[in-house]
Amino acid sequence: ALLNGTARRIHVKGTSRHLPSIIIIGAKKCGTRALLEMMNLHPRIRRTTREVHFFDRDVNYLNGLPWYRKRMPFSFPDQLTVEKTPGYFVSPEAPVRIRAMNKDVKLLLIVRDPVIRTISDYTQVVMTRNQDENDQAEDSFPQFEDMVFDVNGEVDTSYKAVRTSIYARFFPTWLEYFKREQIHVVDGENLVTNPFEEMRRVEIFLGVERILKPSNFWFSEEKGFYCLRNENGDKCLGPSKGRKHPNVSKEVVSKLRVFYSPFNVNFSKLADINFTWLV
């Protein structure tokens, strides 16, 4: 009982803060929060709730590892600490810095259909801007098409929502600093439809006891996504996870599919994975 809810802040005897031995490095909008919360169902795993942005932001990194460790949750010596900051995946500095902390760290990269990821990223930007300027109507922001294509109608790779979905562009740097076996690539599409199966693979990769059961996941018709269940009760992710996407025309989607296709093939080869949607 001491470990649930706000009581978790209490420093339970025998626990201390540990640097993470597992990091979810991204990618943004691919289901990083769902993955983190699902991992947290496992009694051997403890997570940071907030994104720490230690390795990708100089202001934080310059504070050194003691600063980083202070942001970690209290855990028992036999528990594993996990942190997730999706910004790490696209950060040029993060791989070398993470290696300097622990060359044996276990990394998780979750990816999903790059076109859907781009739409999700755009949606997030629109929603965040709407919150900031809440008197402005949603339609006063540029349409998706106007953001992803440049004046010549070419896919605009200077737009971050487009760039982040080019997994093959960022993955090689991680392979320079880490062994391929240290990086587990999670299928973000399968995590949506089949969380138990995907989490079983995560347990195997982490080498932890296979404790999660199909009954830890239940489909909420209301949310339209799987939610979590354990002895503390039922929990769905917040309203910012599983947002309604704007309608994007078939033509725009197929133009983006053509654009991403060679990068997907390349990423598939580099990572030696074969997700059905990664074609």
Number of residues forming the site for ligand A3P (CB under 6 A): 18
Do residues 171 and 91 touch, judged by C-beta distance below 8 A?
Answer: no
With tokens 């100089």, the residue in question is 58
Indicate the DSSP class of residue 10: S
| Straight-line distance from the first to the last Cα atom of the chain, in angstroms, rounded to the nearest whole number | 47
Q: Could you tell me the smallest distance in angstroms from the CB atom of residue 104 to ligand A3P?
A: 25
**Is 245 marked as a binding-site residue?**
yes
Nearer Cβ to ligand A3P, position 75 or 123? 123
**Is 29 marked as a binding-site residue?**
yes
32 binds ligand A3P (CB under 6 A): yes
Out of 28, 29, 84, 255, pick the active-site residue: 29
53 binds ligand A3P (CB under 6 A): no
192 binds ligand A3P (CB under 6 A): yes
Q: Could you tell me the smallest distance in angstroms from the CB atom of residue 225 to ligand A3P?
A: 3
- Helical (H) or strand (E) element with 197: helix 195-206
| Cβ count near 148 (within 10 Å) | 24
Query: Does residue 94 have a cis peptide bond before it, meaning omega lies within 30 degrees of 0?
Result: no
Read off the tokens for 27.
């990618």
Nearest to 124 by CA among 193, 56, 41, 29: 29
Do residues 148 and 154 touch, judged by C-beta distance below 8 A?
Answer: no
**Is 226 marked as a binding-site residue?**
yes
Read off the tokens for 36.
């983190």
Nearer Cβ to ligand A3P, position 78 or 222? 222
Do residues 170 and 263 touch, judged by C-beta distance below 8 A?
Answer: no
229 binds ligand A3P (CB under 6 A): no
Residue among 243, 252, 263, 277 that touches ligand A3P (CB under 6 A):
243
Nearer Cβ to ligand A3P, position 38 or 74? 38
Site string for ligand A3P, 76-105 (x = CB under 6 A): ----------x-------------------
Residue among 88, 89, 225, 267 that touches ligand A3P (CB under 6 A):
225
Residue among 22, 23, 30, 72 that touches ligand A3P (CB under 6 A):
30
- Helical (H) or strand (E) element with 271: helix 250-271
160 binds ligand A3P (CB under 6 A): no
Q: Where are the beta strands (DSSP E) in the chain?
A: 16-17, 22-26, 45-47, 74-75, 80-84, 106-111, 183-187, 217-220, 225-230, 233-235
Q: Which stretch binds ligand A3P (CB under 6 A): 59-67, 146-154, 170-178, 238-246?
A: 238-246
Q: Is residue 13 annotated as a catalytic residue, yes or no?
A: no
Binding site for ligand A3P (CB under 6 A): 28-34, 86, 120, 123, 191-192, 225-226, 237, 241-243
The catalytic site residues sit at 29
